[in-house]
Amino acid sequence: MSPASRSAVKVPILLLLILLPAQAQYYRHSVRITGGAGLPRDDLEQFFDISPAFGFSYAYRFHRNFQAEAGLDTVFHAAGIRDYLETPYGPLRIKDYQFMVPLGGRVMVPFARDRFQFTAGGGAAWLRYQEFVRQPYGGYYQIDCPPCRTRSGWGYYALVGFSVALDSGRHFRLGAHTKVYRAETEGDSFGALPRIVTSDAWIVPAAEFSFSF
């Protein structure tokens, strides 16, 4: 074998030896905190407003390129409900919240020894819209809210995103993603939303901070 041929064989072998250890190094667990906005679409668009959103999730990375995850995204007061409940402690405000529970996974595409990641995923989703009464200060009493209304239903979600590691150990990451939720919900009328089955959609763009271990 000529020197040139031996060099041609050694190069891919050396690259493989370098890359294999890097591919094997990843953390199994991660916790993610997100903040962004909830944009109502489809049947919700004429009844709900764009509102702040906050979320968190836990993920188990069972393979370098795949992870399972579950979480909670909360949109604040998108229905614009500002009712009051009369109580012995005075009128207490009722506000609305929109909860979205994603149950699925994502594909991880790491670059530069996992310093950068592009992700895409999806799965099932449960949506629940609920009113809550503001409790009296002090926390000594719990006020029930019989007139508080709810809606819920199952659907699915999809997401795309990216992140960059903030430290050499790849424990902390900063990034952004966009989730799209789709579901049919039913239940009580909710703000201006009538009491019918609706086809709901939400677009939730958010910044994210995650810790892996």
pLDDT digits (tens, 9 = 90+) for 50-99: 999 999 999 999 999 999 999 999 999 999 999 999 988 789 999 999 99
User: How confident is residue 28, by pLDDT bands cut at 50, 70 and 90?
Assistant: very high
Long-range contacts of 51-56 (CB under 8 A, 24+ apart): 51/75, 51/76, 51/77, 51/78, 52/76, 53/204, 53/206, 55/204, 55/206, 56/31, 56/32
**Inter-residue contact 67 to 61 (CB < 8 Å):** yes
**Inter-residue contact 108 to 119 (CB < 8 Å):** yes
At 51 the pLDDT is 98
At 59 the pLDDT is 98
At 24 the pLDDT is 47
Domains and CATH numbers, the chain: 27-212 (2.40.160.20)
Give the number of other Cβ atoms within 10 Å of residue 200's Cβ: 25
Q: What is the pLDDT of residues 141-182, one digit of tens each?
A: 788 899 999 999 999 999 999 999 999 999 999 999 999 999
The mean pLDDT of 185-198, rounded to a whole number, is 97
At 49 the pLDDT is 98
| Residue length of the chain | 213
Dihedral of CA atoms 207, 48, 128, 131 in degrees, nearest 10, equals 110
For residue 70, what are its two tokens? 């579950």
Higher pLDDT, 163 or 6: 163
- Distance separating alpha carbons of residues 26 and 172, to the nearest angstrom: 13
Average pLDDT along the chain: 90
Side chain identity, residue 140: Y
